[in-house]
Amino acid sequence: MNVTALPATVATSASAEVDNRAAYLGFAFAYVFGHGAALLSKSGLVLMPSWLPIGLLAFGLVVGTAFAMTASLRAQKVASEARRRAEKLVGTAWMTGFTALALAVTGLSTVFDQPELQTVLWPAGSTIVVGLIYIAEGAIRGNALHYNLGTWLMLVAAATLFVPGAGFFGVLAVLGGGAYLVAAFLERRRLAV
């Protein structure tokens, strides 16, 4: 089959691939240490300052986001015009998704007069939004690993809402953080192919 006969959105060079390894490791840190610290703190197993779990989570998220943006921008430099346009559209979904999530979480906790709902709705909702966008990015990039990671994250996040108490954070730490670690390991193999 002649590669030049493929549409521009399909025929991409290997250098247009997004290497997500560093980003996945940053997000794994956020989930394992941020949500893990929340589990230990909220279950009363370890006394720690209330800011520590959210600080660890925020640190990992900032690092992961910086690595993800850097890798994506690097890959876009050699991508086709159609691919760059698609990436920019998905990029705006991050702002739209989290704006909608903020409205939903605030609305639900206000309407039901239960501000403590935010404690579970933010982590679960954020993971669902991230999962949805990973699915879109995976489809655009033809990256099944990214797509499958997004699917897994969405399902885990939705399932955590059935877990009572601090166990909620344990599920996110183990199944969310673990998924990022597995994805970081598999990303090397994906890029080698």
Per the model's pLDDT, the better-predicted residue between 89 and 1 turns out to be 89
**Is 21 inside any structural domain?**
yes
How confident is residue 12, by pLDDT bands cut at 50, 70 and 90? very low
**Is 10 inside any structural domain?**
no
**Is 72 inside any structural domain?**
yes
Which residue shows structure tokens 């250098």? 15
State the total domains in the chain. 1
Q: pTM to 2 decimals?
A: 0.88
**Is 4 inside any structural domain?**
no
| Nearest in space to 75 (alpha carbons), one of 17, 24, 140, 23 | 17
Q: How many CB atoms lie within 10 A of CB 110?
A: 12
**Is 103 inside any structural domain?**
yes
pLDDT at 13: 42
**Cα radius of gyration rounded to whole Å, the chain:** 18
